[in-house]
Structure 1
Amino acid sequence: MDRIGFALMVALLRLFAVLPYGLVARLGSALGAALYRIPSRRKHIVLVNLRLCFPTKTEREYDELARNHFRHVVRSYLERGIQWFGSAQSMKGLVEIDSAIDLHDKNAPPTIFMGFHFVAIEVGCIVYSTSQPAASLYTRMSNVRMCDLAKRQRGRFGAEMIERSTSARKIVATLRSGKPVMLAADMDHGIDNSVFVPFFGVPACTLTSVARLARLGRARVVPFVTEVLPDYRGYKLTVFAPLEDFPSGSDTVDTRRMNAFLETQVLKNPDQYYWVHRRFKHRPAGVAGVY
């Protein structure tokens, strides 16, 4: 992205931050539906993922689910204007919070907030950081300008942004200092520090970082999910009770548990999970690629 294109994109995001949320959401949804009509690599990836994970659905059901997913994904790009440039007050006004733990407990043990790549994941992370100290792991993007912008805006309320590739020692020190760490480990980042465990019955290359960091930092693991509410009512952040007996001592067992928990949440809002990512990019030895 060149300098002019980047400047135009930032200007649009700033504009979306001051427009009514419902208008921005409806515009994104309509744009997503229109883009779905155009053959694209991302559309192909979405349909491959859906066919692998839900093999009993009909072609009509795949098409409907994929179209609704495109609506949510493109809508989330436009709503990033609100998330990255909106005020703390405007953000809080859009998010309902349902938590099984006390989010304001100053005596809480070291905590890993385990998120998942639903379309509204950023909303939950940013809203939490408006009232509580937190650190968040991120993956560096290839576009330097976009990466720097995302890092700056995601952390603008005080969240400490830590690159995923940093040393575990720094993350553990952050946990032991009393600052919770927010991370998501449900994407395919390569076979290093990963295991193949089922995701809807399909072997998925999955990071073991949650279990490893929990063990090293003696931290509890608290799952959270942010969903898009119907009728353009905003979002809901659900914070669950800490996982019991986690970590277990087996990274493979713990990572399988993470995927099993994720499956239960995907089934609640299947069109909101990030199917546009190549979740099965890496395959077990001898197994053919799918994309």
Structure 2
Amino acid sequence: MTRQITDTPPPTGSTTDWLADRALRGLINVVLKLPYETRVPMMGSALRRAIGPLTGYRQRAEDNIALIYPDMGPYDRRAMAEACCDNFGRTIIENYSWQDFGKRLSETAPTGPGLAALAQASADKRPVIFVTAHFGNHEAPRQVLTRMGYEIGGLYRPMQNSYFNAHYAATMTSWGGPVFAQGRRGTMGFTRHLKSGGMGTLLFDVSAKGIALPFLGQPAHTSTSAADIALRLNAVIIPYFGIRQPDGLSFAVEVEAPIAHTTAPDMMLAITQRLEAQIARNPHQWFWVHRRWKARKNASSV
């Protein structure tokens, strides 16, 4: 049975949004008919060669890469932006193919110092907040840990194109724990889920109202929700990442050591630094297509 996402309004938007959704939905429906080992690289290629350039994703990625790596030459920037779009496309179709994706991950064993803390929190019925980012495939760790017997929900930020969001978001509710749309009521539902000793995932690496933290050397506005909730509920907060392997289909799942409870800004800075370390090792796997460094008014800084 498919779970429902909490507080998702009916899709609305411009004609352009509707047409873009129809085009992408049609492509996804065609690609889903192909064998898994074919559809994943094909969707990556479609984002890299056609959809990325047409939608402006590739150019936005190049602009962000230039901001962070000003000494990188145009050829290398283009190559990284294309690799980013390829990973983006693969991630989309993997998450639509959640059953096949799960099978592909069936022999993937998670590693990392956070596994012991996770087992202890589960035994103590203590809430757990997993924090991750749009890196590799952020659903790979949830898939692997769910297979191990953990029920993991989530708090997610709806996409700007609500037509596409209406069906893409459903991929998160087909398995695992309850998923809540970001917003006042969604956050309250997510918090109630955690209060009962539940587990949930939160992606923190998008521009949001909050505080300006240094990220890859530039100020980036960051929500403190993950740290705020962890401090309020005495929840264990554990970063985890799904890192795409060289074959383009397999993943390493790293469950990192918990973030120490200090202050919300310091905790979010520590979480950000964990992501920076992952990006340093595999810079093309982060979603450079996001407007991560866009300006916001009246934001405090650290």
Q: State the TM-score, normalizing by the size of structure 2.
A: 0.79
Q: 2:165 aligns with which of 139, 144, 147?
A: 147
2:229 is aligned with 1:213: yes
Q: 1:176 aligns with which of 179, 195, 198?
A: 195
Q: State the alpha-carbon separation in 2 of the partners of residues 285 and 133 from structure 1.
A: 38
Distance 1:12 1:81, change over 3 A: farther
CA deviations on 1:226-272 (whole Å, 9 max, x unpaired) are 111112342222111212x32x12x2222222221211011111101
1:265 paired residue number: 278
Q: Which 10-residue stretch deviates more, 109-118 or 167-176?
A: 167-176
**SS of 1:46 mapped into structure 2:** helix
CA deviations on 1:172-220 (whole Å, 9 max, x unpaired) are 332221111110111002x3xx101111110111111111011111111
- 1:170 maps to amino acid: G
Cα deviation for residue 119 of structure 1 reads 4.0
Identity of aligned residues (%): 21
Q: State the alpha-carbon separation in 2 of the partners of residues 38 and 239 from structure 1.
A: 34
1:289 paired residue number: none
**SS of 1:230 mapped into structure 2:** coil
Correspondences of 1:186-265 after superposition (within 5 Å): 186-189=205-208, 191=209, 194-243=210-259, 245-246=260-261, 248-249=262-263, 251-265=264-278
2:45 is aligned with 1:30: yes
Q: State the alpha-carbon separation in 1 of the partners of residues 171 and 55 from structure 2.
A: 29
Distance 1:218 1:16, change over 3 A: same
**SS of 1:70 mapped into structure 2:** helix
Q: 1:135 aligns with which of 143, 147, 153?
A: 153
2:110 is aligned with 1:93: no
Q: State the alpha-carbon separation in 2 of the partners of residues 87 and 39 from structure 1.
A: 29
Q: State the alpha-carbon separation in 1 of the partners of residues 194 and 84 from structure 2.
A: 35
CA deviations on 1:24-57 (whole Å, 9 max, x unpaired) are 2332333344238946522221111111122232
Q: 2:58 aligns with which of 16, 28, 43?
A: 43
Q: State the alpha-carbon separation in 2 of the partners of residues 241 and 198 from structure 1.
A: 21
1:76 paired residue number: 91
Q: 1:122 aligns with which of 136, 139, 153?
A: 139
Cα deviation for residue 128 of structure 1 reads 3.2
Is contact 1:16–1:81 with CA below 8 Å preserved after alignment? no
Q: State the alpha-carbon separation in 2 of the partners of residues 187 and 58 from structure 1.
A: 26
Is contact 2:53–2:59 with CA below 8 Å preserved after alignment? no
**SS of 2:77 mapped into structure 1:** helix
2:127 paired residue number: 110
Cα deviation for residue 113 of structure 1 reads 0.4
- 2:129 maps to amino acid: I
Q: Which 10-residue stretch deviates more, 231-240 or 107-116?
A: 231-240
Cα deviation for residue 151 of structure 1 reads 3.4
Q: State the alpha-carbon separation in 2 of the partners of residues 256 and 139 from structure 1.
A: 20
